[in-house]
Amino acid sequence: MIERYSDHAANERTFLAWVRTAIAVMAFGFLVQKFDLFLRIASESLAPRSVPTRNEFVGTAAGLLLIVLGGAMMVFAAIRFRNTALDIDAKEMRPGPGTRPDITLVVLLLLLGVILFVYLVYTVLSRF
């Protein structure tokens, strides 16, 4: 039997949750980039005037940033998984990793979400 098996299993479940979330963030980035293309095509066929081309940059940049952020989340998850595994096996008590990286990630995702929301509202209103 593995010593402290339940702790290691919980660490692995947490790691896999981080990886699933990172994959979802990356897929959302791909969707944002493709949705920008969809909005451009729809605006050309439905509206008498097209959406200005400078808006294309926002959707593309946001999509790429989400993909990069998802990749960074995977690296962060792998590092955290390994450090936690070492902490579980350590004989001495070690302090936890803290919440600063987690809060930073949440703030980045919220900021990107707000930017996407403003961009989408601007894109929809510019068609009218």
Would you kindly state where each structural domain of the chain is located, as residue ranges?
5-126
Please work out, in degrees rounded to the nearest 5, the angle formed at the alpha carbon of residue 20 by the alpha carbons of 79 and 121: 110
CA dist 84 to 14, 28, 66, 90, Å? 10, 28, 26, 10
Q: Which residue has the tokens 């993909």?
A: 67
Q: Distance between CA atoms of 110 and 128, rounded to whole angstroms?
A: 28
Question: Which burial class, exposed, middle or buried, applies to 115 when counting CB atoms under 10 A from its CB (0-12, 13-18, 19+)?
Answer: middle
Residues near 126 by beta carbon (within 8 Å), at least 6 away in sequence:
51, 52, 55
Determine the pLDDT at residue 81: 94
Determine the pLDDT at residue 109: 82
- Give me the tens of pLDDT residue by residue for the chain, a chain 128 residues long: 778 899 999 999 999 999 999 999 999 888 888 876 666 666 666 655 554 555 577 778 888 888 998 999 999 999 999 999 999 988 888 777 778 888 888 898 888 888 878 877 877 777 66
Determine the pLDDT at residue 98: 75
Determine the pLDDT at residue 42: 63
Q: Residue 101 has which token pair?
A: 């990286």
Determine the pLDDT at residue 45: 66
Q: Residue 114 has which token pair?
A: 């707000």
Determine the pLDDT at residue 49: 55
Determine the pLDDT at residue 78: 95
